[in-house]
Amino acid sequence: MSIINNIELIDNSCAFGELCASIPNGADVIIGQTCYLTVSLTADSNLISSIDSISIEADKSYLTVENKNNWMVSENKNFGSAVILLNINNNLSSDTLIKYTVHAMSSTGYINGIKPLEIEYTTKRVDPTSLIALTTNNEYIEPPTEDNPVGTGSSYVTYSGKLLDCNNNPLRNTQVLVSSEHPDKIFSHDKSKTPVHIGTEPKNGELSQKIMTHSQSSFDFFAVNSDIHGNIKFRVYPVRDTSVRIDFDTQILNVTPVNYAASIYVFNAIRSSSFGPNAPRISGIQNGKVEKIPGAKGIEVHVASYPDGKDTDSLIFFMQGFNQNDKPIQLKPIYRIDNITSLDTIPFYFTYDQLPLNKPMKLYYLVAPENQEYSYSMTEMFTYIGEQNSPSNEEVYDKVKVYTSHATPPIDVYSEENETFEWHGIILSMINRNKKSGQSAKGVTGLYVVIMGTNDQNNKNLPQLGSKGYLNVYIKTPTSRNTHKSYQFSLLPTVDSGKQTDHAVVNIPYCDINRAGPSFSKGLGTLSFDYYIENSDGSKTYSKKWTTKINTVLPNQANDNNDGCDPL
């Protein structure tokens, strides 16, 4: 598809003098669909000028036709196009063949020099509640500093999706409408003010072709067809020195609901202002250093509320070194806020593999509103130092298993029922199952920690049955009652029935782990477990550390409310 003097030419493969349809012969159409069909022609200027209109002949029991845009001719009069709505009958069955004929008409009738175009479609059915998602490697891109035309421009984002019928079969050449949630983002009557251009995803060796955008009653959109495998693809080319956020919706017209599908964020990564919202805060940062937590996948970042924030805002995080040539690096993913009133409590996660090791960096974020001016936050300095293992305590044994207070002793340690994992985090409802409201919580168990043992002499990942040791509990949070406690345990010499293993269970008191709340500057605290075995020679062999986030404070809990436990 290409554009000549703002007139839409459907396909460069269309032969000179032949009518073309934007939904090709052999396509699948959806029962009940309205097809936004563009018919075009490239031909001798005399022939183009003789055309008054485009006519479609069809059996009305299959489809009805509505002329939307009259025949339009380019300045050089070698091209022309018209838009027609095809309404596919709602009462048809799947796999029905629909045929129609396209005619070029003069004021007196058919034009003999232009061959009618015969088209045949096959009807398909889709789930009317289905959503058409779009994916891309990265929705963020910097504005180009040079002209960036469709085809030869090098700065663009490719979006893709998949169309399937109700039997999960791919839909061939089926039309999807992609629209912007706000007007004047992809369509403008003043073409010089359009912030992006839309292009096709070309085959190897070909150039992307510009896709025409349309506007109907302030609804700005463009049409794309799936390929024979049901894939839809298109490119978005940002315009030189132009910042914009565009939220894309997708639909099969009059069949599926309009749904949010993807966004593009075109903004400079370098902070352009000296002041802005408060800097983000990295949980667990100590003296500017961020340590990798064993078992965790990344850092947790918190953001304070900022003026004029909205539920629809998105946050894009960046980090940048302090050397002159250091460029900003985007941290993925991009976060859509959804609930601005709870922003202070929302954790934003970024994987460790995105962070440079032992290099001082500054962290900041960009607020990308739906339809307003964007802004940059202040910066927080940090250095990621990786995992800091204790050289004196070699971690040999497997991690403990942790079960919530909802587990019923004796615990089936070979089942994951009521087991919690490091990526879950610990919250109050996980530890208060056994606590009675208004009563003392002393003696109440909050968590069950399991240490596994084995009688297999060749298994070095578990301690031998009959061993004794200590379980360590570490809590890092400014509001917890304890920061480190140890509990003695023994592994019996007998094995569980049918196994080569047995286990010891340590009950962690509710009062040891309640009231472990977050702080604004450091975010959520951490809860960790490890254990060591006392060897016969006096040495100790340690396990690997089990670590998770923790927040066990009651909502709006007063400072003097100890929740049935001793004062902090």
What does the pLDDT look like over 31-42, one tens digit per residue? Answer: 999 999 999 999
User: Can you give the CATH number for the domain in which 191 is found?
Assistant: 2.60.40.10
Task: Identify the residue with better confidence: 537 or 544.
Answer: 544
CB 268 within 8 A of CB 243: yes
Phi-psi region of 58 (alpha: psi -120 to 50; beta: other; left: phi over 0): beta
Does residue 254 carry a pLDDT above 90?
Answer: yes
Does residue 4 carry a pLDDT above 70?
Answer: no
Same domain, 379 and 403: no
Same domain, 327 and 372: yes
Residue 561 lies in a domain: no
Mode of pairing for the β-strands spanning 259-266 and 140-141: parallel
CB 66 within 8 A of CB 87: yes
The percentage of the chain sitting over the pLDDT mark of 70, rounded to a whole number, equals 93
Across the range 246-250, mean pLDDT stands at: 97
Residue 7's pLDDT is what? 42
Residue 5's pLDDT is what? 35
Q: What is the pTM of this model?
A: 0.70
Phi-psi region of 563 (alpha: psi -120 to 50; beta: other; left: phi over 0): left
Same domain, 97 and 162: no
Does residue 6 carry a pLDDT above 50?
Answer: no
Same domain, 417 and 381: no
Residue 132 lies in a domain: no
Residue 424's pLDDT is what? 87
Summarised one tens digit per residue, pLDDT across range 142-193 is: 999 999 999 999 999 999 999 999 999 999 999 999 999 999 999 987 777 8
- Cα 23 to Cα 36, 37, 158, 224, 497: the distances in Å are 9, 7, 22, 9, 67
Residue 521's pLDDT is what? 53
Summarised one tens digit per residue, pLDDT across range 512-527 is: 898 887 765 566 788 9
Same domain, 399 and 533: yes
Residue 152 lies in a domain: yes
Does residue 198 carry a pLDDT above 60?
Answer: yes
Nearest to 507 by CA among 495, 484, 489: 489
The percentage of the chain sitting over the pLDDT mark of 90, rounded to a whole number, equals 68
Residue 401 lies in a domain: yes
Same domain, 113 and 84: yes
Residue 568 lies in a domain: no
CB 173 within 8 A of CB 226: yes
Last residue within a domain, chosen from 335, 365, 386: 386
Residue 345 lies in a domain: yes
Q: Taking all residues of the chain, what is their mean pLDDT, rounded to a whole number?
A: 90
Q: Read off the pLDDT band of 139 (50, 70, 90).
A: very high
Sign of CA dihedral 85, 91, 95, 97: negative
Same domain, 527 and 442: yes
Summarised one tens digit per residue, pLDDT across range 397-424 is: 999 999 999 999 999 999 888 899 988 8
Across the range 275-284, mean pLDDT stands at: 91
Same domain, 12 and 106: yes
- Distance, CA of 393 to chain centre: 40
Domain with 84 in it: 2-124
Residue 520's pLDDT is what? 54
Last residue within a domain, chosen from 234, 266, 298: 266
Does residue 81 carry a pLDDT above 80?
Answer: yes
Tokens 């978005």, located at residue: 236
Same domain, 525 and 400: yes
Q: What share of the chain is helix, strand, coil (3-state, %, to 5)?
A: 5, 40, 55
Joined together, the tokens standing for residue 460 give 């070095």
Does residue 391 carry a pLDDT above 60?
Answer: no
Summarised one tens digit per residue, pLDDT across range 89-136 is: 999 999 999 999 999 999 999 998 899 999 999 999 999 999 999 999
Same domain, 399 and 544: yes
**What's the domain count of the chain?**
4
Last residue within a domain, chosen from 89, 124, 159: 124
Same domain, 415 and 529: yes
Specify the 3-state DSSP secondary structure of 558.
coil
User: Can you give the CATH number for the domain in which 524 is found?
Assistant: 2.60.40
Residue 478 lies in a domain: yes
Residue 275 lies in a domain: no
Same domain, 26 and 97: yes
Of 171-175, 345-349, 526-530, the range with the highest mean pLDDT is 171-175
